[in-house]
Amino acid sequence: MAQKGDLLSVRQDIRVVDATIRDGGLCNDFRFDDKFIKALYNANVKAGVDYMEFGYKASREIFNEEDFGKWKFCNDADIRKIVGDNKTPLKIAVMADVGRTDFKKDIIAKKDSPIDLIRIATYINAIPAAVEMIEDAAKKGYETTINIMAVSKARTEDITAALETLGKTPVNAFYIVDSYGALYPEESRRLADLYCSIADKYGKSVGIHAHNNQQLAFANTIEAMTQGVSYLDATVDGMGRGAGNCALELLLGFLKNPKYQVAPILKIIEEYTHKFKAEGVKWGYDIPYLLTGQYNTHPRPAIQFVKEDRQDYYKFSNELYDIINS
């Protein structure tokens, strides 16, 4: 099923997934107003983007609604207010974290929802719970992906065993998720080969979600693509947790299929994301994120460093070393 191509290939199986609201929401607690969401939705339609991820289906038992904007919870009615009946080629996605969502109650039947795709996020030690969520969502009529987070920390034999298990489920695609921005293109290529070989066996697709800690999110994305990966995550202006993600404008400008147009996304950057930065919302490459990426560790200490407007990088590198080796 995987289609390998060179950097000039037009691949009809490519699916571009805009994760701006979901990953970008981690920068501002999902406090986006409807005007921006509607503008981004319209821009994605014009740009030929295949999926737009609106946010999380998070549990209200675990997360206090007063602490977050509504896209942390993605009520179907709130999405429908933006997309109506969504009579466009753009499909609507949300993410549901294993152990952090009331999926049996909050994910309703597809026929009653504007959502098309449920992206199930898990760590490799929680695959059985992820399988339960996949089967529930598929039974309700949704497309599904499985996003195995922090894959740079996982052992190859564990990844292989997980994918073999997941291959037997109704899931549509396996995702390589470089949560820590630790991968280099050679490693992305190796993982893509592994994922695609198992995906081919079970008739699945493969996706990649990259973080930009070492300024390699775009490089890792297109490297994986040439190995057969077809679901490509990106965000406007690279907006996402910590160092951010593969920039949507970079990806659309690179892809050779004429259906993809970068101009509508440039307008969103001009009118919205630059203003977010001016208002103090922080994301993007910075030295502390580089260090957590090189150490292959969660960016939490780096996020705190940036939040405090610190500039003492040398001291932070020693602090990080002590944290990792304590």
Burial of 77 (0-12, 13-18, 19+ CB in 10 A): exposed
Q: Residue 235 carries which DSSP code?
A: B
What confidence tens digit (pLDDT) does each residue in 84-109 have? Answer: 999 999 999 999 999 999 999 999 99
Topology of the domain comprising 15-278 = TIM Barrel (3.20.20)
- The per-residue pLDDT for 5 is 72
pLDDT grade, residue 280 (50/70/90)? very high
Question: In which residue ranges of the chain is CATH 3.20.20.70 found?
Answer: 15-278
Kindly provide the b/e burial profile for residues 252-263, where b requires at least 16 CB atoms within 10 angstroms of the residue's own CB: beebeeeebebe
81 sits in which H/E element:
helix 76-83
- The per-residue pLDDT for 3 is 64
Q: Residue 88 carries which DSSP code?
A: S
- The per-residue pLDDT for 2 is 64
Over residues 232-255, mean pLDDT = 98
Which neighbouring-strand residues pair with 18? 52, 234
Q: Residue 179 carries which DSSP code?
A: T
- Block residue for tokens 């490519």: 14
- The per-residue pLDDT for 6 is 74
Over residues 112-135, mean pLDDT = 98
pLDDT at 1 over 70: no
What confidence tens digit (pLDDT) does each residue in 32-78 have? Answer: 999 999 999 999 999 999 999 999 999 999 999 999 999 999 999 99
Residue 281 CA to residue 304 CA, distance in Å, equals 13
209 Cβ partners below 8 Å, 6+ apart? Answer: 19, 147, 175, 176, 177, 178, 233, 245
Kindly report the number of other CB atoms within 10 A of residue 312's CB atom: 10
What confidence tens digit (pLDDT) does each residue in 197-230 have? Answer: 999 999 999 999 999 999 999 999 999 999 999 9
Q: Crossing angle for the helix pair 156-167 and 127-139, nearest 10 degrees?
A: 30
Over residues 227-252, mean pLDDT = 98
- The per-residue pLDDT for 95 is 99
pTM of the predicted structure, to 2 decimals: 0.97
CA geometry: angle 6, 12, 18, nearest 5 deg: 95
Over residues 279-285, mean pLDDT = 97
% of the chain beyond a pLDDT of 90: 96
| Average confidence score pLDDT of the chain | 97
60 sits in which H/E element:
none
